[in-house]
Structure 1
Amino acid sequence: MKDTFVTIARYPYSTEAQIAKGRLEADGIEVFLRDNVTIDTDPLVSQAIGGVKLKVLVKDENKAREILNSITNYTLDDDGNLIKCPNCNNKQVGLYSSISDFKSLISFIIGFVSGTLPFTARYQYKCEACETSFPVK
């Protein structure tokens, strides 16, 4: 059982996974990436296949999670200060794109059909603790 791998994190692109892998390997943890070559070949399938999976041995799972949690960066404002949730005052806030109006929906459809990036996108912050979404200022 100790020789099996367990997924401890998923990343949309292999560059982020490679950074985490390097950090864990620096602490002597054996790391395996899954689906990184597929996503490097075609990044558009990342969400469909669940991203790049970062796997570690079961015996190293707790230590690896502690290391990853200690280096997680959250959203900063223009002055370098952590953005806090207006609802619960939590500092673990992420930036997400959303399709919330007609303009962003049309842009998404045109980008999808033409194979290009969307012309416009709406972004919002989302608290990881209470799930509150609030606008980017």
Structure 2
Amino acid sequence: MIEKTFVTIAKYQYSSEAQIAKGRLEADGIKVFLADNLTIDTDPLVSNAIGGVKLKVYTEDELEARKILKSIKAYSLDNNGQPIECPNCKQHHVELFSSIDSFKSLLAFLFGILTFTLPFHTRYKYVCEDCKSEFPVKKEYPFKGKRI
């Protein structure tokens, strides 16, 4: 008897994101297993500590599953619905992420932990998946100078 093994092909911060990917893969006939989803559903704050929800497939389905996930991945868009371009390599594989990389962000994070509230100040940046460069989010005000 050949023993089938699983391989992790993606990680998600929340189980709802993993469930969407799981449903898409299962619709194409790929068997999927989620790891740590129940733990994160119980306490979402531990997601980063345990590495998120792991989406696993059989080893023989890995290439096909990765191809399907890549085809449905959404990247960041600007206010006009156009893909955001990396200023370094000019590619469009750009994602938004939040970080705590300034003293003000760190203080807000610590205050949130001490008072059991959500942090009210985080910095958002874009990161390019191709060249790994990070760049700031441009603040666009579509109604600036216009009266509503």
TM tier, smaller:
over 0.9
Query: What residue number does 1:64 align with?
Result: 65
User: How many residues were matched structurally?
Assistant: 137
Gaps of 5+ in 1: none
**Please, what TM-score do these two structures have when normalized by structure 1?**
0.95
* 1:131 aligns to 2:132 (yes or no): yes
In structure 2, C-alpha distance between the alignment counterparts of 1:133 and 1:40, rounded to whole Å: 30
CA RMSD for the aligned pairs?
Answer: 1.1
In structure 2, C-alpha distance between the alignment counterparts of 1:63 and 1:2, rounded to whole Å: 20
The structure number with the bigger radius of gyration is: 2
Single out whichever of 110-119 and 23-32 deviates more from structure 2: 110-119
> Which residue identity is paired with 2:18?
A
Counting aligned pairs with the same residue, the percent is 64
In structure 1, C-alpha distance between the alignment counterparts of 2:3 and 2:21, rounded to whole Å: 21
> Which residue identity is paired with 2:14?
Y
Q: Contact 1:9/1:54 (CA < 8 Å) preserved in 2?
A: yes
* 1:8 aligns to 2:14 (yes or no): no
Residue 102 of structure 1: how far off its partner (Å)? 2.2
> Which residue identity is paired with 2:47?
S
**Displacement over 3 Å in runs of 4+:** none
Gaps of 5+ in 2: 139-148
Residue 131 of structure 1: how far off its partner (Å)? 1.5
Residue 2 of structure 1: how far off its partner (Å)? 5.8
**Please, what TM-score do these two structures have when normalized by structure 2?**
0.88
